[in-house]
Structure formats: structure tokens, C-alpha cells
């Protein structure tokens, strides 16, 4: 069957038996249960072709597949929400599209046409619309990704690729305010590296230092610059912002920091509310001194999966500093609620960020 309402021809093979009845929407574990269908399209001979939606299932891979050995693999993270408790909307999907292609360029991978990205999202979410949770705080996480498929041993860009999307119903990534450790030994990214790309290898490289941090009781690390470990960069799965003396500060998205879409949304909202926001280098000493003096009012992470994640403890060089619980007067609280209301259609979308799918 060829899907209607889209301009990219997408072949659709429906699942014979939906797995939806197995989902307990009251107890969703992040990233464990996948919706019935997935999208894929292949790139060979310089062209994207054979767009299809098929039942979610393992895919056959060559042991020599390029992405497995040389790491040409990038991804995105997005969410679909119930709007006014009924219709389904995406949040700023074009930003994910642009970032995917920016990552692709850095990783020597082909550009994906916007039409394929948007049509695939529309059609996949329309088909699996019953998987979009209705409960407040839950949403459908969407994972678009691209990887190199050449069956070839040798270090050069692959000539063939696959782009895919699958989805899964989720709750918050963090279920409680987070404890973070400022990392002073390992690095996530260095100048001239691939830190600004959402490349799979960035996450793999972070696993070992993150595990060491977890063994000390932290949820996540706060990365610092690779050269001197003096400047804050981002946290494990999110960008980071501090409220110091009623000024919001966050590191600028240089080449080493992922340009987060939630980060950009938070900055835009804060400026719209007339708040003082600075995208500027944040010295670790500035954060620690503010913690000691009590002028660090709040610290929080910003990300698609993490949403707005309050930080309750910051560790630095064997010392632990606690932050007070944010009440409803705190910026992080207000912006978190506003973003949630905006995505769900409870407040006017004055920034034109929401995009209707169903
Ligand atoms: C996201 O925020 O969507 C991400 O990709 C982070 C991931 C580690 C869950």
C-alpha cells in the first residue's frame, strides 16, 4: 500500500499483530518498548530510494558493515505530544532536521532531503498514533538515525547509507533531580573534534568516565574543556544552565558543545520574559564560588530526553555541594512548566514551534 497525504512515495507494510496491548502506559520505562512500525530509506549510487515503513524488527547486518567498525553513525532525539489531550504535535522538527544534516556533513555522510525527513515522521507517527501516550508528563520519543552500510574494510567514507526512524513511548529520562560531577580528567570533545555533531561515538566515548562517576554516586558528569578542564561545557545527556545572582548563564555552543534545541528554546523564552541570559564561557571557579557564597540559585540540564532536569548536587574535586530544591518561583520550574504547556497546546504558541501531525 502506498501511503497517502505525503509527497515521498513510502511503501507501507503493516504489522500483523500490534504489540500495543502489552504496553502499561502507567509504568513506562524510558527507551525499552518500541512502537509497531519503523521507517527506513537507503542511499546508494548517490540517491535516496526505497522509502518504506515496515513492522519494527531486527535488521540483517553484514559483519563488515562500515558503521560497526569506523563509526559513521549519527542520530537525533525528538518527541511527539498530545496537544489539547487529543491531536499529535511535534516540537520544532525542522531544527532536528537541520542538526541531522549538520552532523551528517561533519561525519562525511550524505544530506537527507527535508521532504523525506518530514514525510517519514508524519506517516510513521500517523500509523502508530495510538502509541502516543495520553498521560501528562509522557510523550512519544522519536529516534531518527543514519549509519554507513558499506561492506568494506578500510578507512574511507562509506558510499552507502541507511536512514531510519523508530519511536517509543516515554516518561522523563531522569526520575529525580540529578547529582552531577564536574569532570576534570576525561573529556567529551576537543576543539576541531566532533562535539557539535550528534555522533554515536560521542556517547560511547563518554561511557567509561560516566561509569566512574556513577560508582561515586553521581547520575551524570559535567564536561569541561579538554585543554584545561577549567570551563564548563555540557552535561552527559543535556546542555547546562546556571542561575547565578539572578543572571542565567550557559556556555556558548562552540564546536565542542551540542547545539541543543531545548537549550535554544529555554534561552529564547527567558529573553522573551525579559530575563538576563548570557551565552558565555562559564569558569568552574565561578560556579564553585557561587555555590560557596550561596549565590548559585539553580542549576539545570536541558535536553529532549531530559527535558528540564533540576540538579540537586554538584561534585568537584572530592567536595560535594548541595543545591536547594527549586520551588515554583524558580526559573527552571517556570520554564519547564511553560515548555510543557506549549508542547501540549495549553498556552498560545507565540514562537510558532509546534507542528501538527495528526
Ligand atoms: C536526547 O535528549 O534526545 C538524546 O538524544 C539524549 C540521549 C542520551 C537519550
pLDDT at 11 over 90: yes
Please report the atom of ligand 1 found closest to the CA of residue 306. 2
Percent of the chain at pLDDT exceeding 90:
92
Please report the atom of ligand 1 found closest to the CA of residue 262. 2
- The full set of domains in the chain, from first to last, is 11-171 (3.30.470.10), 178-326 (3.20.10.10)
Confidence at residue 327, expressed as pLDDT on a 0 to 100 scale: 87
248 Cα: distance to centroid of ligand 1 (angstroms): 23
Confidence at residue 83, expressed as pLDDT on a 0 to 100 scale: 86
159 Cα: distance to centroid of ligand 1 (angstroms): 27
Task: Dump pLDDT digits (tens) for 159-179.
Answer: 999 999 999 999 988 889 999
107 Cα: distance to centroid of ligand 1 (angstroms): 19
337 Cα: distance to centroid of ligand 1 (angstroms): 20
pLDDT at 254 over 50: yes
236 Cα: distance to centroid of ligand 1 (angstroms): 9
The alpha carbon of 24 is separated from its chain's Cα centroid by a whole number of angstroms, namely 24
Residues near ligand 1 (Cβ within 6 A): 77, 237, 303-306
Task: Dump pLDDT digits (tens) for 62-101.
Answer: 999 999 999 999 999 999 999 888 899 999 999 999 999 9
Please report the atom of ligand 1 found closest to the CA of residue 77. 3
Quote the pTM value: 0.95
Taking CA atoms only, the protein residue closest to ligand 1 atom 9 is: 305
**Alpha-carbon span 309 to 323, nearest angstrom:** 13
**Alpha-carbon span 224 to 272, nearest angstrom:** 29
**Alpha-carbon span 146 to 136, nearest angstrom:** 31
Amino acid at each position: 500500500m502506498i501511503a497517502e497525504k505525503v509527497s515521498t512515495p513510502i511503501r507501507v507494510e503493516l504489522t500483523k499483530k500490534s504489540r500495543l496491548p502489552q504496553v502499561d502506559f502507567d509504568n513506562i520505562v524510558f527507551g525499552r518498548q518500541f512502537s509497531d512500525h519503523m521507517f527506513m530509506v537507503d542511499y546508494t549510487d548517490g540517491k535516496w530510494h526505497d522509502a518504506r515503513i515496515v513492522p519494527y524488527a531486527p535488521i540483517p547486518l553484514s559483519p563488515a558493515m562500515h558503521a560497526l567498525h569506523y563509526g559513521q553513525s549519527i542520530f537525533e532525539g525528538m518527541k511527539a505530544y498530545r496537544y489539547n489531550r487529543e491531536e499529535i504535535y511535534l516540537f520544532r522538527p525542522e531544527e532536528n532536521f537541520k542538526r541531522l544534516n549538520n552532523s551528517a556533513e561533519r561525519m562525511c555522510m550524505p544530506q537527507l532531503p527535508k521532504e523525506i525527513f518530514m514525510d517519514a515522521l508524519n506517516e510513521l507517527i500517523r500509523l502508530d498514533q495510538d502509541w502516543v501516550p495520553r498521560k501528562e508528563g509522557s510523550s512519544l520519543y522519536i529516534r531518527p538515525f543514519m549509519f554507513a552500510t558499506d561492506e568494506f574494510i578500510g578507512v574511507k567514507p562509506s558510499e552507502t547509507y541507511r536512514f531510519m526512524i523508530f519511536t517509543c513511548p516515554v516518561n522523563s529520562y531522569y526520575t529525580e533531580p540529578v547529582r552531577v560531577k564536574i569532570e576534570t580528567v576525561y573529556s567529551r570533545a576537543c576543539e576541531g573534534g566532533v562535539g557539535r555533531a550528534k555522533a554515536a561515538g560521542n556517547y560511547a566515548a563518554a561511557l567509561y568516565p560516566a561509569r566512574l562517576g556513577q560508582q561515586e554516586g553521581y547520575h551524570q558528569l559535567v564536561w569541561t574543556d579538554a585543554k584545561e578542564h577549567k570551563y564548563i561545557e555540557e552535561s552527559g545527556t543535556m546542555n547546562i544552565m546556571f542561575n547565578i545572582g539572578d543572571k542565567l548563564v550557559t556556555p556558548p555552543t562552540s564546536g565542542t558543545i551540542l547545539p541543543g534545541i531545548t537549550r535554544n528554546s529555554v534561552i529564547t523564552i527567558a529573553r522573551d520574559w525579559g530575563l538576563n541570559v548570557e551565552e558565555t564561557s562559564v569558569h568552574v571557579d565561578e560556579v564553585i564560588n557561587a555555590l560557596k557564597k550561596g549565590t548559585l540559585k539553580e542549576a539545570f540540564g536541558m535536553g529532549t530526553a531530559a527535558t528540564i532536569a533540576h540538579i540537586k548536587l554538584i561534585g568537584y574535586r572530592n567536595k560535594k555541594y548541595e543545591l536547594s530544591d527549586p520551588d515554583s518561583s524558580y526559573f527552571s520550574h517556570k520554564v519547564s512548566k511553560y515548555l510543557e504547556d506549549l508542547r501540549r497546546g495549553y498556552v498560545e504558541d507565540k514562537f510558532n514551534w509546534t507542528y501538527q501531525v495528526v
